[in-house]
Structure 1
Amino acid sequence: MRKVTMADVAKLANVSKSTVSQYLNKRYEYMSEETKRRIAEAIEELQYRPNVLARSLKQKSTATIGVIVFNILHMLTTQVLRAIEDMCQQHDFHVIVCNTDDDPEKERKYIDMLWAKQVDGFIIFPTGKNVELYKKMQEARLPLVFVDRTVAGIDADSVLLHNERAVQLGVQYLIEQGYKHIGLVAPPFAPHVIPRTERIEAFHHALRDHGVSVEKEWVITEHVKRIPERLEALFNSNKLPEAIFAINDLTLMEVLAFVKKHQLAIPNDLAVISIDDVPFASIYTPSLTTIAQPTFEMGKIAAERLFMQMNGETSPQMFRLAPMFIERDSAKKRGEKNESSCHRS
């Protein structure tokens, strides 16, 4: 079939090509309703689709941004992505999403691919291990925003949680509830993974600030798949702590699976608290006390900063967003239950 062109639309609508072009670019100032109707009907009848490549060359914009995430299964990732997509839709921009599995080589390949596609900007949940490539992006003046992590040596817009405050809220609450033997469950310590390192370090500091000793065997920093093994070892040696602080949704899932396997009662046998307000937190039995990240606000700010960079209106800033503590039943004093939830930040 012959490709339908703008000239075909103009002929059927009985207008000039420039008028069709103005219509496609939503420049309706001097266009009558009748003219708009004829063009719309011609486009529909001919099933015309604009040549996006030609249009982007002319406008020097692809109206597309690349979003590179480290784990699309994370609750944080999916919610931030939703907010980014909403903001881009308002600006008539498309989003290409790539998942790296926190692999720097995959991240490099995705950056190269999106750069070759001439996306107008990048929002990246960085692995932190492609510093030279990030620098080249900045040298090329590519709009760039980091989410959830910062990268040493790269002065870029960054949007992330106030991780220290999030951990302080959780530890303080557990101590107020009377727990003294508190454990932590986290993926392995990695200097380039900012949220992880900040939360693990903040946990140690928060316990010490409250005069509570840090027991090495209760601080589990393992690959997610090995967390059950470590919990099993504590259980079999009768050395489980009174409470466990999971630093994200993925580690929380491992803790809950362990609890189910051994039919432990929360919080009587083991109190549980976590960062990331998982969707089932309020309907789980007992309901889960969590520390929520302002994910939609993070995505909104990231997209706003990117569009500001595209317009040359900004200089790099770091945004540390406040966590929200959501009190439910999983970390209350033993034997105490409360159907209501309260929030504090």
Structure 2
Amino acid sequence: MKNITIADVAKHAKVSKSTVSQFLNKRFDYMSEKTKKKIEETIKELNYQPNIVARSLKQKATFTVGVVVANILHTFSTQIIRAMEDAFHEQGYQIIVCNADDEPEKEKKYIEMLLAKQVDGIMIFPTGCNLDLYERMKRQQFPVVFIDRTIKDLNIATVMLDNQMAAKLAVSQFVKNGRKRIALITTSIIRNISPRVERLEGFKNALADHGLPVNKAYLKSASADQLPAVLEEMFNLPAPPDALLAGNDIVLYEVLRFMKKRNLTIPGDAAVIGIDDVPFASFFTPPISTVAQPVAEMAEKAVELLLFQIKNKEDREFEDIFRYKPSLIERDSD
């Protein structure tokens, strides 16, 4: 079968090759609706497929970006990747998603693989342990945006939640409903992963604002497999907590499973709020209150920041951290 070229499309549609090229690149400023329709119909009739390799060589771009996510099991990760994919697709870009499993070495391999494939830019949910690699990309002015997590003094454009406010919203809700023994459980903070550290800090500040003491027995961080034991220890205290703030969706899942196993009622035995809205929260019994992130807005900003760097090769210094306000979704668990 003969490969259909731009020249074939142009000849069949009775327009110039440059007009077809403008159509393919979505430059319609000076193109009539009649011409657009004619080219579109010709492309379908001839089953024309653009030569992506030739296009990349000509424009010195692959129209592909990488997304290296720390842990794709988090609901927020899948939600924002889905929203970013839509936004990139609208701009003619494809994405390659890589899951690092919170392992720095795996993250490093994925970033190096994406660089070797000459992607135009990379979104990273950083593990925080590949500073040399992050710094090298910044020195080389390679387009990079961090998502969900920031790294101090690195000065890379970052989109993330106001994590302190997220914790404060939950604590204020607990206090409003008369709770005083408020606990926070989060996944491990060994590597000082910024959202977890910031939520812990916001939690402590919120307790102080409401005149409540910080009880270390009610502050726990652990790996996912250790969470059941942490919960067991906490609820065996002489005065167990009467409110639990789950630092993320993985913790929330373990909290709900533990309470069901122990036949503890929500909110009777303990109120529960989770940071990050999850699909099952609204139909769990009782429906679970959550602190939600504005995923669509965050995805839109992240894509905007990366495309700005890709398209402005001489002006890639974009070092701000863009924080977004969370919102409390009140249900029946607090």
Map 1:80-229 onto structure 2 (within 5 A): 80-229=80-229
For residues 192 and 233 of structure 1, what CA distance do their matches in structure 2 show? 24
TM-score (norm 2): 0.89
- What is aligned with 1:338? none
Q: Which residue is equivalent to 1:266? A: 266
For 1:226-245, list aligned pairs within 5 A: 226-235=226-235, 239-245=239-245
Q: Shift of residue 239 of structure 1? A: 5.0
Q: After the TM superposition, which of the residue ranges 306-315 and 90-99 deviates more from structure 2?
A: 306-315
SS of 2:97's equivalent in the other structure is strand
Determine helix, strand or coil for the equivalent of 1:281: helix
2:323 maps to: 320
Aligned partners of 2:282 and 2:27: how far apart in 1?
Answer: 48
Alpha-carbon distance between aligned partners in 1 of 2:219 and 2:272, rounded to the nearest angstrom:
14
- Closer/same/farther in 2, CA of residues 31 and 172 from structure 1, 3 Å limit: closer
Give distance in 2, aligned partners of 1:103 and 1:49: 39
> Which range is displaced more, 277-286 or 17-26?
17-26
Question: For residues 45 and 308 of structure 1, what CA distance do their matches in structure 2 show?
Answer: 36
Distance 2:131 2:327 in 1: 32
Change in CA separation of 1:27 and 1:162 when aligned onto 2, cut-off 3 Å? closer
Q: Cα distance, 1:277 vs. partner?
A: 1.5
Deviations 1:282-334 (A, max 9, x none): 22222212111112211111111112223336632111211112222211xxx
The root-mean-square deviation of aligned C-alpha atoms, in Å, is 2.4
**Which 5+ residue runs of structure 1 have no aligned equivalent?**
332-345
Match of 1:275 in 2: 275
5+ residue gaps, structure 2, are none
Contact between 1:190 and 1:196, CA under 8 Å: does it hold in 2? no
Q: CA deviation at 1:24?
A: 2.7
Does structure 1 conserve the Cα–Cα contact (< 8 Å) formed by 2:87 and 2:303?
A: yes
Task: Tell whether the 8 Å contact from 1:150 to 1:194 is kept in structure 2 after alignment.
Answer: yes
Separation in structure 2 between the aligned mates of residue 282 and residue 32 of structure 1, nearest angstrom: 49
Aligned residues of 1:127 and 1:192 also touching (Cα < 8 A): no
Distance 1:29 1:252, change over 3 A: closer
Residues 49-68 of structure 1 aligned to structure 2 (within 5 Å): 49-68=49-68
Q: Is the 8 A contact 1:83 1:297 kept in 2?
A: no
1-structure distance, mates of 2:244, 2:285:
17
Percent identical: 50
- State the AA in 2 paired with 1:81: I
Summarize deviations over 1:134-190 as a string: whole Å, max 9, x none. 111112211111111111231111111111111112112212222121212111123
Q: CA shift at 1:36, angstroms?
A: 5.2
- What do the CA deviations read for 1:98-140 (whole angstroms, capped 9, x no partner)? 1111111121111112112222212111111111111111122
Which range moves more in the overlay, 216-225 or 41-50? 41-50
* AA aligned opposite 1:302: A
Which residue in the other structure is 2:248 paired with?
248
Deviation at 1:267, TM superposition (A): 0.6
Higher alpha-carbon deviation: 252-261 or 23-32: 23-32
Separation in 2, partners of 1:45, 1:93: 25
Residue identity opposite 1:315 in structure 2: F
Q: Which amino acid aligns with 1:170?
A: A
Alpha-carbon distance in 2 for matches of 1:31, 1:178: 65
Would the aligned equivalents of 2:128 and 2:191 in 1 still touch at CA under 8 Å?
no
Q: Which amino acid aligns with 2:68?
A: I
- 1: distance between equivalents of 2:33 and 2:153? 54
Identify if the C-alpha distance between structure 1 residues 137 and 170 changes in structure 2 by more than 3 Å, giving closer, same or farther. same
Q: Distance in 2 between matches of 1:32 and 1:292?
A: 44
Distance in 2 between residues matched to 1:159 and 1:31, nearest whole Å: 37
| Structure-2 separation of matches of 1:311 and 1:7 | 28
CA distance, structure 2, for counterparts of residue 197 and residue 319 of structure 1: 18
Q: Is contact 2:244–2:271 with CA below 8 Å preserved after alignment? A: yes
Distance 1:234 1:153, change over 3 A: closer
Alpha-carbon distance, 1:17 to partner: 4.4
What is the deviation of 1:204?
2.7
> Which letter maps to 1:317?
D
